[in-house]
Structure 1
C-alpha cells in the first residue's frame, strides 16, 4: 500500500467546492454531536525567524465516513521578500483512522482556502436571506476568490462589489470574474450593503461600522486570526445575531476576541455555534432577523473533511505521486 503525494494543483482540482461544502457541513454537525476529537491548536513560536509553526490535528466521525489528519502550517511574514516563498505554507497528513496508515500527504495551503470558503458557504446557507443575490467582499487577497466561488454555490449571486485599499489587487479580482458576475469595485459601505458580506482583511482595528452594512446583511468575518485582531466595530457586533465556529478559538483569536475580552460582548450575546444550526438545535435566519455575523476561525475538522474529499476524488485516477513511505507497506 502506497501513500499518495498531492500538490497544490491536485488539491485545487479534487477539492470540488460542492463536495467540500457538504463535508464541512458534516464536520460541523459531528462537532456538535460530540463525535470529533480536536485538541487545541499548538504553537511553536520562532521570534528569531519572525515566524511560527502551528499544529492542527483532528478526527471526525460523520456517520457515513470517518477521517483523521494533521495540518502543519506556518506564518513567516519575511518569506516573500527574503526567501521568495509564501508567508503561509501548509502541509496536510491524511491518515486511515483504523490503521493509522498515512493515505496521503497533500498541500495544505490550497486545502485551507477551500475549506475556509466552504465554511462561509455553510454559514451563508443558514444565515443569509434565501433570495440573496449580491455579495460584498472587503479585502481582495487570495481568500476572496474562494469566498466568491463557494458562496455562489449556495446563493444565486449576480452582483459583486469588491473593496480593497489596493486598487490593483481589487481590479485583478474584478477582471477574473468579469465574465461570470456583474462585478465592480466600490467602497466598504457599498460592499456592506450587499445581501452577503465577506471580510477577509488582516487589520487589527475595525474598518466596518454598523452604518456600513444593510439591515439584513449576513457577514462572514474571516480575517481575524490572532488575538487583538478584528474587522467589525463593537456597535455592529452588538446589533448582530452572532454565530461562531468554536467558543474557545473565537473568544481567543476570532472576530469577537477583543470585545469579548473587554466585556463588551459576553456569552449571552452569542447566538450559538454553527454546528447547532446544522443539527437544528437553534434557528438561523427568520423574517425578523437583522444583521447576522459568522465568526470563522477555522477548525482542524474542516481540514480533515476537505482532505477526505480530495483523497476520495484523487485516488485511483493516476494523479499525484504514489510512494512507499513505509518500507513494509
Structure 2
C-alpha cells in the first residue's frame, strides 16, 4: 500500500470548495457533539527569524466518516521579500485512523487557504442575510481570493469591493475577477458597508471601526491568528453578535484576544461557537438588521476534514505520486 504525495496543484484541483465547505461544516458539528480530539495548537516562536511554527493534530468522527491528521505550518512574514517564499507554508499528514497508515502527505498551504475560506462560508451561511449579494474584502493577499470563491458558493455574490493600501495587489485582484463579478477597489468603509465583509490582514492595531460597517453586515474576522493581532475596533465587537470557532484559541490568539484580555469583552459577549449554530443549539441570524462577527482562528479538524476531501478525490483520479513510505512487509 502506497502513501500518496500531493503537491499544491493536486490539492488545488481536488479541494472542490463545495465539498470542502460541507466537510468543514460537518467537522464543526462533530466538534460541538464532542466526537473530536483536538489538542490545543502548539507554537514554536522564532523571533530571530520573525516567524513561528504551529503544530495542529486532530481526529474527528462525523458519524458518517472519521479521519485523522497533523498539519505542521508556519507564519514567516518576511518570506516573500527576503526569500521569495510564501508567508505561510504547511505540510499535512493524512492518516488512516484504524491502522495509522499515512495515506497521504500533501501541501498544507493550499489546504489552509481552502479550509479557511470554507469556514468563512459556513459562518456566512448561518450569519449573513439570506439575500446577501455584496462582499467586501479588507486585504488583497492570497486569502482574499479564497474568501470570494468560498463565500460565493453560499450566497449570490454580485458586487465585490476590495480595500488594500497596495494598489498593485488590488488591481491584480480586480483583473482576476472582473469577468465574473462587479469588482472594484475601494476604502475600508466602502468594503465594510457590503452585506458580507472578510478581513484578512495581520494588523495589531484595529483598522475597521463601527462606523465602517453597515447595519446588517456580517464580518468574517480571519486575519488574527496570534496573540496581539486585532483587526476590528472594540466598539464594533461590542456592538456585534460574536460567534467564535473555539473558545480557547479565540481568547488566546483570535480577533477577540486583545479586548478579552483587557476585560473589554467577556464570555457574556460571545453568542456561541459556530458548531452550536450548525447543530441548532444556538440561533444564527434571526433578523434583517444587526452586525454579526465570526472570529475564525482555524481549527485542526478543518484541515483534517479538507484533507479527507482531497485524498478521496485524488485517489479516484489517480493523482499524485505514490511511494512506499512505510516499507513494512510483515513478519517472516
Normalised TM-score (structure 1):
0.98
Find the residue that maps to 2:272 and give its secondary structure. Answer: strand
**Equivalent position SS for 1:228:** coil
Describe the SS at the equivalent of 1:315.
helix
Other-structure match for 1:212: 212
Counterpart for residue 327 of structure 1: 327
How far the C-alpha of 1:75 sits from its partner, in A, is: 2.2
Q: CA deviation at 1:53?
A: 1.6
Match status 1:264 vs 2:279: no
What residue in structure 2 maps to residue 54 of structure 1? Answer: 54
Q: For residue 312 of structure 1, what is the aligned residue in structure 2? A: 312
Q: Give the aligned partner of residue 151 of structure 1.
A: 151
8 A contact 2:215–2:289 mirrored in 1: no
Runs of 4+ in 1 over 4 A off after TM superposition: none
Q: Deviations over 1:97-132 (max 9, x none)?
A: 000000000000000000000000000000000011
Deviation at residue 89 of structure 1 after TM alignment: 1.1
The root-mean-square deviation of aligned C-alpha atoms, in Å, is 1.0
What are the residue-to-residue correspondences of 1:81-230 with 2, within 5 Å? 81-230=81-230
Shift in Å, 1:288: 5.8
Range that drifts further, 42-51 or 268-277: 42-51
Contact 2:2 2:322 in 1 (8 A): yes
Question: What is the rounded CA distance, in whole Å, between the counterparts of 1:105 and 1:235 in structure 2?
Answer: 43
Residue 283 of structure 1 pairs with residue 283 of structure 2? yes
**Which structure 2 residues correspond to residues 242-253 of structure 1 after superposition, within 5 A?**
242-253=242-253
1:201-225 per-residue CA deviation (whole Å, 9 max, x = no partner) reads 1111001110100001000000111
Give the TM-score normalised by the residue count of structure 2: 0.97
Check whether the contact 2:129–2:288 (CA below 8 A) recurs between aligned residues.
Answer: no
Alpha-carbon distance in 2 for matches of 1:245, 1:138: 21
Using the TM superposition, give the Cα deviation of residue 289 of structure 1 relative to its aligned residue in structure 2, in angstroms: 4.7
Partner in structure 2 of residue 67 of structure 1 = 67
Q: Distance in 2 between matches of 1:203 and 1:234?
A: 14
Report the CA distance between 1:74 and its aligned residue.
1.6
Contact 2:196 2:219 in 1 (8 A): yes
2:29 corresponds to:
29
Gapped runs of 5+ residues in structure 1? none
1:279 and 1:77 map into 2 onto residues whose CA distance is 37
Residue in structure 2 matched with residue 294 of structure 1 by the alignment: 294
Count of aligned positions: 329
CA–CA distance in structure 2, aligned partners of residues 288 and 84 of structure 1: 45
